[in-house]
Amino acid sequence: MAIITLTSDMGTKDHYVAAVKGAIITQYPEARIVDISHSISPFSNGQAAFVLRNAYPEFPKGTVHIIGVNPETDGQTPHMVVRHNGHYFVGADNGIFSLLFDGQPHEAFELTMKLDDDFATFPTKSVFVKAACHIARGGTPEVIGRKVTHVREQIGFRPAVDAQSIRGKVMYVDSYGNLMTNIPEGLFKEVGRGRPFRITFGRTDDDITRISKGYADVPPGDPVAFFNANRLLEVAINKGATGAGGGAAQLFGLREEDPVRIDFAPRDQA
Amino acid sequence: MAIITLTSDMGTKDHYVAAVKGAIITQYPEARIVDISHSISPFSNGQAAFVLRNAYPEFPKGTVHIIGVNPETDGQTPHMVVRHNGHYFVGADNGIFSLLFDGQPHEAFELTMKLDDDFATFPTKSVFVKAACHIARGGTPEVIGRKVTHVREQIGFRPAVDAQSIRGKVMYVDSYGNLMTNIPEGLFKEVGRGRPFRITFGRTDDDITRISKGYADVPPGDPVAFFNANRLLEVAINKGATGAGGGAAQLFGLREEDPVRIDFAPRDQA
Amino acid sequence: MAIITLTSDMGTKDHYVAAVKGAIITQYPEARIVDISHSISPFSNGQAAFVLRNAYPEFPKGTVHIIGVNPETDGQTPHMVVRHNGHYFVGADNGIFSLLFDGQPHEAFELTMKLDDDFATFPTKSVFVKAACHIARGGTPEVIGRKVTHVREQIGFRPAVDAQSIRGKVMYVDSYGNLMTNIPEGLFKEVGRGRPFRITFGRTDDDITRISKGYADVPPGDPVAFFNANRLLEVAINKGATGAGGGAAQLFGLREEDPVRIDFAPRDQA
């Protein structure tokens, strides 16, 4: 049974998500539909990419992921099926694919299917569902699209790096108020090589100089930094959450896009 | 595999929706359960009808739709199974069926099943699930109810019309802040017959005199009017949303039930 | 097809819930996944236990319930599989099991499985999913854990009682603002034995002296007390909800943990 996941900024109050699900079930009754998120901030490619890139690898290879964020109907943004790591992604070539994969996907196809009438106002339902069901049924992308060599690039998630520092940012604030940065564990090890360091993200008082294993390495209410399940640096408050003692975003006054940097001790001190 | 959908104002925090799903799975394990929405404003027949009427046609014929809004336990409001366009609807005869179908449904049955003890406080679970599973299993409405000729009428969605104008209203504000009116494309064409027109919904400055194909026909941040995937007049801001640049509802200061009118040029000018 | 339910405080915006679902589908594709709630207030064992105890009995015996609230990674809180009333529960021994069952469960097993690397930051995905899929597949708890005789006790839901009164509390405020107390119908009957009574929960003016059958026993806008589908005393406003006329919590100024008491007439008056 093929799996189709849904990521969107459509919310769950309106009829949109249900209409998409109904259309999938009508076109391909065997599909197993799984919601990734429908609470992406409106029009945020960055949030959609962050959430989906941290969820999709848990699904079996062959899963088809519909991305209903900025589906674009301006006539200049192709709709695409993209294959990467054995997964399929259906969405508009609005820059999101480059955020999802840190660069170009393994294969990309511009959709050339005939479009339904209501294409212009609800392409997630009228275009993406059709393409996703085709792939989920075992169809090949070549039948519904033509291969292209590049997807549109959007300024990505990679931090700036030099010998003494990594300058990243808050990429995502989760619903507890935990701060997800764009600093991967591998980069931290490669640049730091075991040297002492200082993580700076707000007032000097809040600096962190230790990497923990997880939330519970510090007492409840204390700040903690660790590489999370997705191997990205996360700054959090143990047992803190917005509305329950205060999460990290609230206590440190940080938002998405705010800078987070790591300074390493000079080599001669290491 | 029969499909049962759920539309309610119960929210997704509490145990109510899960209890309904557990009851369905216990009574009819083969049912495929799909959420339409559980975020209908409390007790709003209008919102529930709007959301469901725009979602249900996407589902296959034979789908059973449970409506858990104003399920009523006053002893004077019958519980019903209604058949319309090949779909089944289970709910209370509180007026919602007339909103769903713009008039009387094809067939309506007042439920006469024996009721469980907790009928009085949670009929969506104790009554509607039982009826929906009966229908989903292939049972006939006649076995659990007696046919009636009318459902209760509630003041509906139809706009007022004369030779020069259509006087409608905002029927629903979606989560982006887009304004869904009760003015269908067919009526606009029938009354307008190609004449110039002016859509008025707030300050004169905001009047719109053009029907577009969709959001992207205007630059981001500009107002746009078009007939949407449900063939209803929608007024929106391209790439605008509540909290992200401002959606139409916010920028125009409009709410559900506020008037929207279209005035056509006099015939001698046409 | 085995059922796995999910109860958590993870919300539905982030990638967490989707990652858990992907992990389940990868490990046990036949699992039927049902959300109980992901909107539990952060770290609230009390809310999680209340919601799950009112939902789980609707599911078929053999269902596996994952509890992703306070999954704990402090090294001192065992992860458990618990069997009770023919259902299985997977979570951390943080006190929640005693709240779920009013005492000790029928059987409890401390998990002894080998742990994945990301154990420390996301045990709901890395530990609970593995255990839940093992049970859902028909595996026995003995294979993945060792039997223990007690789970941790947390101060529970039971009200204080004497011959003339029941002193309970608001255990949960639902999304309509209805007040769910910890006073069961059985206890009310046992202590009251038909005597007149007075339910006190705020200002004296708001006292209620009658038990109704349900919301609709009083006119819209009036307060009402009844034993709900879960046989617990509920205080509500008929057709009242937060944001729609005002729910009981709003109108009476009550929150979770606030006292609710019932005083019965002295025996010689009965």
Higher-pLDDT residue of B80, C205: B80
Q: What distance in Å separates the CA atoms of residue B216 and residue B214, rounded to the nearest whole number? A: 6
Interface test with A, best of C10, C13, C118 (most A CBs within 10 A): C13
| Residue environment code for A67-89, b if the CB has 16+ CB neighbours within 10 A, otherwise e | bbbbbbbeeebbbbbbebeebbb
In B96-135, the residues whose Cβ lies within 8 Å of chain A are none
Q: What is the mean pLDDT of residues B68-72?
A: 92
- List C-alpha distances in Å: B233 to A13, A118, B74, B138: 20, 13, 37, 38
What are the pLDDT digits (tens) for A229-239? 888 999 999 99
The answer, yes or no, to whether residue A102 has pLDDT greater than 80, is: no
Instruction: Report helix, strand and coil shares of chain C as percent, to nearest 5.
Output: 30, 30, 40
The residues near C189 (Cβ < 8 Å, ≥ 6 apart) are none
As a whole number, the mean pLDDT across chain C is: 92
Q: What distance in Å separates the CA atoms of residue C121 and residue A227, rounded to the nearest whole number? A: 9
- Asked if residue C100 lies in contact with residue C84, where contact means CB atoms within 8 angstroms, the answer is yes
Structure tokens at C60: 């078929």
Q: What is the mean pLDDT of residues B34-40?
A: 98
What are the pLDDT digits (tens) for B184-212? 999 999 999 999 999 998 777 889 999 99
Q: What is the mean pLDDT of residues C234-246?
A: 83
Q: Residue C57: its chain B contacts at CB < 8 A? A: 22
Report the pLDDT value the prediction gives residue A94, as an integer from 0 to 100.
94
Q: Residue A10: its chain C contacts at CB < 8 A? A: none
Helix (H, G, I), strand (E, B) or coil at B200: strand
* A12 touching chain B per CB within 8 A: yes
* B77 touching chain A per CB within 8 A: no
DSSP, res C86: T
Instruction: With residue C130 as reference, give the H or E element that holds it.
Output: helix C129-136
Task: Please report which confidence band the pLDDT of residue A130 belongs to, taking 50, 70 and 90 as the band edges.
Answer: very high
- List C-alpha distances in Å: A229 to A33, A39, C15, C39: 24, 21, 11, 22
| C-alpha distance from A70 to closest chain B C-alpha (Å) | 9
Contact A14 B175 (CB under 8 A): yes
Alpha helices (runs of H) in B56-209, residue ranges in sequence order? 96-101, 123, 129-136, 141-144, 185-192
What are the pLDDT digits (tens) for C133-151? 999 999 999 999 999 999 9
Q: What distance in Å separates the CA atoms of residue C177 and residue C236, rounded to the nearest whole number? A: 8
The answer, yes or no, to whether residue B75 has pLDDT greater than 80, is: no
Q: What distance in Å separates the CA atoms of residue C6 and residue C24, rounded to the nearest whole number? A: 11
Q: Residue A120: its chain B contacts at CB < 8 A? A: 213-214, 216, 226
Minimum mean pLDDT among A32-36, A113-117, B124-128, B179-183: which range?
A113-117
Structure tokens at A225: 């930094």
Contact A59 C29 (CB under 8 A): no
**Strand pairing category for C64-68 and C87-92:** parallel
Q: Which of B20, B25, B43 sits opposite C60 (nearest CB)?
A: B25
Contact A25 B60 (CB under 8 A): yes
Contact C174 B14 (CB under 8 A): yes
- Asked if residue A65 lies in contact with residue A54, where contact means CB atoms within 8 angstroms, the answer is no
Q: Residue B40: its chain A contacts at CB < 8 A? A: 13
The answer, yes or no, to whether residue C103 has pLDDT greater than 90, is: no
The answer, yes or no, to whether residue C116 has pLDDT greater than 70, is: no
Instruction: With residue B180 as reference, give the H or E element that holds it.
Output: strand B179-184
Half-sphere exposure of A49 (CA within 13 A, CB side): 24
- Asked if residue A11 lies in contact with residue A124, where contact means CB atoms within 8 angstroms, the answer is no
Contact A13 B54 (CB under 8 A): no
Q: What distance in Å separates the CA atoms of residue A98 and residue A157, rounded to the nearest whole number? A: 10
| C-alpha distance from A136 to closest chain B C-alpha (Å) | 18
Q: What is the mean pLDDT of residues A112-131?
A: 82
Structure tokens at A82: 């993209």
| C-alpha distance from B179 to closest chain A C-alpha (Å) | 12
The answer, yes or no, to whether residue C82 has pLDDT greater than 80, is: yes
Q: Which of C34, C229, C244 sits opposite B18 (nearest CB)?
A: C34
The answer, yes or no, to whether residue C229 has pLDDT greater than 80, is: yes
Report the pLDDT value the prediction gives residue A270, as an integer from 0 to 100.
44
Contact A244 C22 (CB under 8 A): no
A69 → chain B, closest CA residue: B239
Helices B129-136 and B16-27 meet at what angle, rounded to 10?
Answer: 40
Point out which residues pair with A172 in neighbouring strands: A180
Report the pLDDT value the prediction gives residue B119, as an integer from 0 to 100.
60
Q: What distance in Å separates the CA atoms of residue A36 and residue B222, rounded to the nearest whole number? A: 31
The answer, yes or no, to whether residue C185 has pLDDT greater than 60, is: yes
The residues near C62 (Cβ < 8 Å, ≥ 6 apart) are C2, C3, C86, C87, C88
**Which residue in this structure is represented by tokens 């209604």?**
B82
Q: What is the mean pLDDT of residues C49-70?
A: 97
The answer, yes or no, to whether residue A89 has pLDDT greater than 70, is: yes
Residue B86 sits at φ, ψ, to 5 deg, of 85, 0
Report the pLDDT value the prediction gives residue A118, as an integer from 0 to 100.
55
* A140 touching chain B per CB within 8 A: no
A70 → chain B, closest CA residue: B239
Alpha helices (runs of H) in chain B, residue ranges in sequence order? 16-27, 45-55, 96-101, 123, 129-136, 141-144, 185-192, 248-252
What are the pLDDT digits (tens) for B201-255? 877 788 999 999 989 899 999 999 999 988 899 999 999 887 667 788 988 889 9
Chains that touch B (3 or more CB pairs under 8 A): A, C
Please classify residue A200 by burial: count the beta carbons closer than 10 Å to its beta carbon, then call 0-12 exposed, 13-18 middle and 19+ buried: middle
* A30 touching chain C per CB within 8 A: no
Half-sphere exposure of C42 (CA within 13 A, CB side): 16
Report the pLDDT value the prediction gives residue B270, as an integer from 0 to 100.
44
Report the pLDDT value the prediction gives residue C157, as an integer from 0 to 100.
72
Q: Which of C25, C43, C74 sits opposite A216 (nearest CB)?
A: C74
| C-alpha distance from A32 to closest chain B C-alpha (Å) | 10
Q: Which of C92, C95, C100, C121 is nearest to C19 (CA)?
A: C121
Report the pLDDT value the prediction gives residue C225, as an integer from 0 to 100.
96
Q: What distance in Å separates the CA atoms of residue C104 and residue C32, rounded to the nearest whole number? A: 28
- Asked if residue C93 lies in contact with residue C87, where contact means CB atoms within 8 angstroms, the answer is no
| C-alpha distance from C168 to closest chain B C-alpha (Å) | 21
The answer, yes or no, to whether residue C118 has pLDDT greater than 70, is: no
Q: Residue B73: its chain C contacts at CB < 8 A? A: 213-216
Chains that touch A (3 or more CB pairs under 8 A): B, C
Q: Which of B36, B214, B242 sits opposite A121 (nearest CB)?
A: B214
Task: Please report which confidence band the pLDDT of residue A202 belongs to, taking 50, 70 and 90 as the band edges.
Answer: confident
Chains that touch C (3 or more CB pairs under 8 A): A, B
B43 → chain C, closest CA residue: C239
Percent of chain C with pLDDT over 90: 77
Structure tokens at A19: 């209409």
Q: Which of B225, B57, C187, B121 is nearest to A125 (CA)?
A: B57
A6 → chain C, closest CA residue: C18
Percent of chain C with pLDDT over 70: 95
Q: What is the mean pLDDT of residues A129-135?
A: 97
- In the structure, how many helices (H) and strands (E) does chain B have? 8, 14
Question: Positive or negative CA dihedral for B100, B101, B106, B109?
Answer: positive
As a whole number, the mean pLDDT across chain A is: 92
How many C-beta neighbours within 10 Å does residue A267 have? 10
The answer, yes or no, to whether residue C270 has pLDDT greater than 50, is: no
